[in-house]
Structure 1
Amino acid sequence: MNQNTLIGLPNIRLTSTCDLVAAGFLARYSGKTRESYQVSLRILWQWCNSVGLEVLDAKRPHLELFLRYLEEGRGNQPVTVAHHASIVKCFYRFAEIDGYMEKDPAAHLRVPRVYIDESKTLGLERAELGALIQTARASHPTDGALVALLGMMGLRVSEACAVQVEDYQLIERGHRVLKMVGKGGKPATMPIPVQVLRMLDAAAGDRASGPLLLRQSNGQAMNRKAAALAITRLCKKAGITQKITPHGLRHSYVTACLDAGVPLRDVQIAARHSDPRITARYDRARHNHDRHANHTLAAFLAGAA
């Protein structure tokens, strides 16, 4: 099978059954999700070719060996193996649903368990986030708008980079709002606080359309890499020693909302988390040291020690 068939949907040879199944599967997704799924399928295709196996002829033992190849042959970490495995399982599930296989060979596939250290999902504390916002605002209008969108609106970095000046000019129910398309192609409308609006207007200047965030070096639209470099630079300037990524500011946004007393359900809606358990993870993490059983035990034993 030609490896180039999985580079993009237009290049898939629909005369091949395997490629037709892949095309139908990938057509369900778009953007970064599709690109990520293409990578996983391409790796599966390459491995099957290397062992002389047709993708749709795979059995569970074959796929177990494929995961072992990811771990030992490619040196992937458990989180990466679990990521590829979840996509492979989804692919074969739809192959069975569409009638290309009698039985899903990945139904009982062993997937590595991935454990999340919830203490690492907190991001910046209130004082640190405030210092970063002040530093960004004083640095440059684009810096201020970037930090405001990430840390005060909770946008993902790709969403922030995609904001156009015209996207936040509408008024709904007395509020200026930002209209955008988020993860998974889901549309979202978000009210803009006055403090954030001022920073967005400063970044837009006299422009009435086009990308809101422009790189200071060349005036081109900001991308994920440029945003990450800007956040690193601003954190250093603000005296923040821990490593913070753009997504770390989204973490900071969620934690700050919870610390401000916003109900968990409202935070889930604001952050656009599809699963309330994701938001609850932040709620547990922000108090997991303060309410840890070790403190209670130490106090209990204090009189006897």
Structure 2
Amino acid sequence: MTSGDATVETTVADYLSHIRVERGLAANTVAAYRRDLGRWVSFLAERGITDIAEVTPVEVDEFARTSSSQLAPASAARGVVAVRMLHAFAVEEQLITSNPAKDVAPPTPPQRLPKALGVDEVRRLLEAPDRDDVVGLRDAALLELLYGTGARVSEVCALDVDDATAAVGRDEPELRLFGKGGKERVVPLGSFACDAIDAYLVRARPALTKGRADPALLLNQYGRRLSRQSAWAVISRAATAAGLTGDISPHSLRHSFATHLLDGGADVRVVQELLGHASVATTQIYTLVTIEKLREVYLASHPRAL
């Protein structure tokens, strides 16, 4: 087939056959490309374009903008990628000389801001466990550690008793955490977290050991290391007891830790180190949360904001 008789529709059919037979893509993936490229064929047909060689970047850009207004961000982006790959295939098959979609970027999905709890909501969550109860003391230690350090739940569950006693016993308490890839970082430990850990170690952990010699700091009811799943359940129970609604997770406390630090004037690079982010770009999403809060206060408070 030459470019003179290569229609968009026949090129799409050839491309779908190529990814199904030669590349061996999954049936669901091929079906998704078929839907996306079917929209592309219809879009071009409405503009009187049927020859693959007639397509220009103008049509691709318009298709991207139209998709953004009609579809979910991920679906719109996937459609543009499908068009780009179709025309790359057409170049390889020598049906066209250049890819008109090469420089058209897929729509960027809106940045999802982390859900941070308010300071009062965090206080209610942390005060929810019954500190006269063995399990409640353990739950309080978990919650205070998560919010007091901004640690990932996996990092807190991996702590051993020796880690905690070394941290609490310092004049200026600090805790060693091991993040993704085993990367170590040291974070300060506040007085509330220290008190919760100390109370747990003295009054609760001996009762939870069940005679076992497990080095883990946080134990479950069987005397074994508390799992991430059990930690989620602890937070869910505390959130219910505190009257909090919505999806409250261990990451909610991590998000809140970062947001409250930035609200209090902390430098984003300090927060980056505390969270153990490899790049400051990952941490900067929390600055958007703070800006949103500032905007809310501005709109509610300034006499000429509206």
Fold-level similarity (TM above 0.5): yes
SS in 2 for 1:188: strand
1:175-223 C-alpha deviation (Å, 9 max, x unpaired)? 333223111221122232232122123333457961111123x332211
Separation (CA, whole Å) in 2 of partners of 1:137 and 1:71? 57
1:128-158 C-alpha deviation (Å, 9 max, x unpaired)? 1111112236361110111012111111111
In the alignment, which residue of structure 2 is the partner of 1:33? Answer: none
- Is residue 2:172 matched to residue 1:175? yes
- Is residue 2:198 matched to residue 1:193? no
1:68-97 C-alpha deviation (Å, 9 max, x unpaired)? 749979xxx939x99xx9xxxxxxxxxxxx
| 1:122 and 1:282 in contact (8 A); partners too | no
Separation (CA, whole Å) in 2 of partners of 1:114 and 1:169? 45
Task: Sort the Cα spacing of 1:220 and 1:284 in 2 relative to 1 into closer, same or farther, 3 A.
Answer: same
Separation (CA, whole Å) in 2 of partners of 1:246 and 1:71? 40
Separation (CA, whole Å) in 1 of partners of 2:20 and 2:234? 45
| Structure 2 counterpart of 1:267, one-letter code | V
| 1:169 and 1:176 in contact (8 A); partners too | no
Separation (CA, whole Å) in 1 of partners of 2:142 and 2:297? 39
Separation (CA, whole Å) in 1 of partners of 2:153 and 2:233? 12
| 1:168 and 1:176 in contact (8 A); partners too | no
Greater Rg, structure 1 or structure 2?
Answer: 2
What is the percentage of aligned positions where both structures have the same residue?
27
Counterpart selection for 1:279 from 253, 276, 283? 283
| Structure 1 counterpart of 2:220, one-letter code | R
| 1:157 and 1:224 in contact (8 A); partners too | yes
| Structure 2 counterpart of 1:125, one-letter code | G
Segments of 5+ residues of structure 2 without an aligned counterpart are 1-18, 37-72, 82-101
Separation (CA, whole Å) in 2 of partners of 1:283 and 1:290? 10
- Is residue 2:150 matched to residue 1:146? no
| Structure 2 counterpart of 1:161, one-letter code | C
Separation (CA, whole Å) in 2 of partners of 1:144 and 1:290? 31
SS in 1 for 2:186: strand
1:258-299 C-alpha deviation (Å, 9 max, x unpaired)? 223322221221112222233222122133154269939x95
| TM-score of the aligned structures, taking structure 2 as reference length | 0.58
TM-align CA RMSD: 4.2
| Structure 2 counterpart of 1:115, one-letter code | P
Task: Sort the Cα spacing of 1:70 and 1:210 in 2 relative to 1 into closer, same or farther, 3 A.
Answer: farther
Separation (CA, whole Å) in 2 of partners of 1:112 and 1:229? 37
Q: State how 1:241-280 maps to structure 2 within 5 Å.
A: 241-280=245-284
- The aligned length equals 220
In the alignment, which residue of structure 2 is the partner of 1:116? Answer: 111
- Is residue 2:124 matched to residue 1:131? yes
Segments of 5+ residues of structure 1 without an aligned counterpart are 1-49, 56-61, 86-106
Counterpart selection for 2:225 from 206, 221, 241? 221
- Is residue 2:236 matched to residue 1:235? no
| 1:145 and 1:196 in contact (8 A); partners too | yes
| Structure 2 counterpart of 1:176, one-letter code | P
Task: Sort the Cα spacing of 1:69 and 1:259 in 2 relative to 1 into closer, same or farther, 3 A.
Answer: same
| 1:156 and 1:250 in contact (8 A); partners too | yes
SS in 2 for 1:291: helix
Task: Sort the Cα spacing of 1:261 and 1:51 in 2 relative to 1 into closer, same or farther, 3 A.
Answer: same
1:112-135 C-alpha deviation (Å, 9 max, x unpaired)? 7432232xx142111111111122
- Is residue 2:215 matched to residue 1:210? yes
